[in-house]
């Protein structure tokens, strides 16, 4: 996982934005951060591509879990699992879009400063999103394995946990996008 690979706490990373940037750039190809205008769009695309890859893998695994629930006749978990599948599908759609409305984040040279944003917050959000997405994928793999081995006693609770995790990843991704969308700076 991204934040845990470096064995640093969120507080340590937030005190040193360069550490958060190092974590992201060492784990995501073509990611250079958002400080320089010429790298901003490339870094956004690299981040969303990485998230999209995780969500595609996650979606495929969750579809298999959904099918296994039917075969195992666990119909009470089938509806909640469908909600998780829908959330993953929504995330995949959103991660493939670049619509930030009227944000000037990708057009203005300096995004930091008195009226700008703290890029470390954006970096921390991205680390958190990718950590949560990887954890979510791992939990789906666990549920899939339990279903394949017919260990059905905890499946309902595990599906409920997947609903919570999928919501968490989706909400954090929305927070990131809102932070970028909300950025508006007058070109003087």
What residue ranges do the domains of the chain occupy?
A: 2-182
Range with lowest mean pLDDT among 59-68, 92-101, 127-136, 178-187? 178-187
Percent of the chain with pLDDT strictly greater than 90: 58
DSSP secondary structure string, the chain? -HHHHTT--HHHHHH-HHHHHHHHHHHSTT---SSSHHHHHHHHHHHHHHHHHHHHHHHHHHHHHHHHHHHTT-HHHHHHHHHHHHHHHHHHHHHT----TT--TTT-S---STTS--HHHHHHHHHHHHHHHHHHHHHHHHHHHHHHTT--TTHHHHHHHHHHHHHHHHHHHHHHHHHHHH------
> Would you state the structure tokens that stand for residue 76, as one six-digit string?
């009470």
Region 76-103: mean pLDDT is: 88
Residue 16: is its pLDDT beyond 90?
no
Give the global pTM: 0.86
> Would you state the structure tokens that stand for residue 175, as one six-digit string?
């927070």
Please name the residue that has the structure tokens 């979510």.
Answer: 136
pLDDT in tens, 98-112: 777 667 888 888 887
Rounded CA-CA distance 96/6 in Å is: 28
Among 92, 75, 76, 71, CA closest to 166: 92
pLDDT in tens, 22-58: 999 999 999 999 999 999 999 999 999 999 999 999 9
Contact 180, 99 (CB under 8 A): no
pLDDT in tens, 132-188: 999 999 999 999 999 988 888 888 899 999 999 999 999 999 999 988 888 765 443
Rounded CA-CA distance 100/165 in Å is: 25
């Amino acid at each position: 996982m991204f934040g845990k690979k470096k064995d640093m706490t969120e507080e340590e990373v937030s005190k040193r934005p360069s550490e958060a940037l190092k974590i992201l750039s060492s784990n995501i190809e073509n990611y250079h951060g958002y400080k320089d205008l010429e790298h901003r769009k490339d870094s956004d695309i690299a981040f969303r591509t990485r998230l999209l890859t995780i969500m595609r893998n996650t979606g495929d695994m969750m579809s298999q879990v959904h099918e296994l629930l039917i075969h195992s006749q666990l119909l009470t978990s089938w509806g909640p699992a469908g909600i998780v599948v829908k959330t993953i599908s929504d995330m995949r759609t959103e991660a493939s879009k670049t619509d930030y409305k009227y944000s000037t984040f990708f057009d203005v040279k300096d995004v930091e400063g008195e009226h700008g944003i703290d890029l470390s917050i954006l970096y921390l959000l991205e680390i958190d999103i990718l950590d949560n997405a990887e954890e979510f994928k791992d939990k789906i793999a666990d549920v899939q394995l339990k279903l394949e081995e017919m260990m059905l006693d905890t499946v309902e609770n595990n599906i409920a946990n997947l609903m919570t995790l999928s919501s968490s990843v989706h909400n954090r991704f929305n927070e990131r996008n809102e932070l970028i969308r909300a950025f508006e700076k007058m070109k003087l």
